[in-house]
Amino acid sequence: MTEAPWYNKGLFSSLNLRQKTLLTIGLTGLVLFVIFICGWLIDANLPTDFAMKMQAPSFSHPFGTDWMGRDMFIRTIKGLSLSIVIGIGASIISSFIATILAFVASVNKWFDEFVSWLIDLFASIPHILLIMMISIALGKGAFGVIMAVAFSHWVNLTRVLRAEVLQINTSEYVALSNRLGRSKLWIAKEHILPLVLSQIFVGTLLVFPHAIMHEASVTFLGFGLSPHEPAIGIILSESMSYLAMGAWWLAFFPGLALLIVVLLFDIIGDNLKRLLDPGEANN
């Protein structure tokens, strides 16, 4: 890497790469945590003030106000924290599915074929359509969205883990353990799981940005959270009705905030990947 990131100059130049990576992860994590806590502390029933409706951004309302006079900045933060919760739920469940399927695939050839086929199956329906269908089947709402996003995002991680488990399975110490009479389950738990744990962890974090984006997308289309929830997707689909009137702030800032949160999670995921897998760092 020839290029120097911003933190490689000035104040932080005394740190080594590992410390810088840790610092980046810490700072981004802190920002996300603060957003999450703030959103959590905000009361869902925002004060409405019709005298202040449809105000353009100003010092007292940095993101402007909506058609009911609610402050868009507060609504956005609340929406982001909801997105983060859903993202956490969906990515944990999806990596759980991925881990189980990767281990199932390692049992024998038939199971492996089955898992590959399952991956093909899920990869061949357009993501959004799959999420819509699952969400409809589960009756929409937060539960529907979390499950829908989880059940459509395990594919990539499963591919990675399956290859990894397959490789470890051919190693000598696994063969030795097998000869010594250890059960497959014991080998999976004691030999394989600890080695793929970091992969699972990074995989979970890398699913996160997609989970948040897809949640917002299906909610925007009307298949996700209910219109009463303060979600970003709801805010953006509401804003569609006011765009023609020139209320650009209703759509611009919430979307930008979502973009920033997604980017932050991406940064954490990438940096963590580098930290846990130094051999890959230069790719």
x/- map, 177-216, other proteins, by CB under 8 A = --------------------------------x---x--x
34, 176, 263, 281: residue in contact with other proteins (rule CB under 8 A): 263
88, 138, 193, 275: residue in contact with other proteins (rule CB under 8 A): 138
State phi, psi for 213 to the nearest 5 degrees: -65, -40
Distances (CA, A) of 187 to 77, 168, 169, 177, 180: 45, 10, 9, 7, 11
**Using rule CB under 8 A, residue 251 touches other proteins:** yes
Total of residues contacting other proteins (CB under 8 A): 41
107, 166, 176, 240: residue in contact with other proteins (rule CB under 8 A): 240
Contacts 24+ apart (CB under 8 A), 109-115: 112/162, 115/158, 115/162
**Using rule CB under 8 A, residue 2 touches other proteins:** yes
Q: Which stretch binds other proteins (CB under 8 A): 29-37, 52-60, 198-206, 252-260?
A: 252-260
**Using rule CB under 8 A, residue 238 touches other proteins:** no
Half-sphere exposure of 47 (CA within 13 A, CB side): 3
Instruction: Select from 163, 166, 154 the least CA-distant residue to 96.
Output: 154
**Using rule CB under 8 A, residue 56 touches other proteins:** no
**Using rule CB under 8 A, residue 120 touches other proteins:** yes
Nearer to other proteins, 202 or 257 (CB): 257
Nearer to other proteins, 165 or 269 (CB): 269
**Using rule CB under 8 A, residue 255 touches other proteins:** yes
**Using rule CB under 8 A, residue 266 touches other proteins:** yes
**Using rule CB under 8 A, residue 46 touches other proteins:** no
Nearer to other proteins, 103 or 151 (CB): 151
Q: Using CA atoms, how far apart are residues 75 and 69, in angstroms rounded to an integer?
A: 11
Is residue 231 within 8 A of residue 119, CB to CB? The reply is no
Distances (CA, A) of 2 to 19, 162, 273, 278: 18, 34, 20, 17
192, 204, 220, 271: residue in contact with other proteins (rule CB under 8 A): 220
Contacts 24+ apart (CB under 8 A), 21-27: 21/271, 21/274, 21/275, 22/275, 24/267, 24/268, 24/271, 25/268, 25/271, 25/272, 25/275
Helices (H), strands (E): how many in the chain?
11, 0
16, 110, 139, 279: residue in contact with other proteins (rule CB under 8 A): 139
Q: Using CA atoms, how far apart are residues 180 and 227, in angstroms rounded to an integer?
A: 59
44, 246, 279, 282: residue in contact with other proteins (rule CB under 8 A): 246
Neighbours of 266 (CB within 10 A): 16
In the complex, minimum distance from the CB of residue 51 to other proteins, in angstroms, rounded to a whole number: 25
List interacting residues with other proteins (CB under 8 A).
2-3, 120-121, 123-129, 132-134, 136-139, 209, 213, 216-217, 220-223, 236, 239-240, 243-244, 246, 248, 251-252, 255, 258-259, 262-263, 266
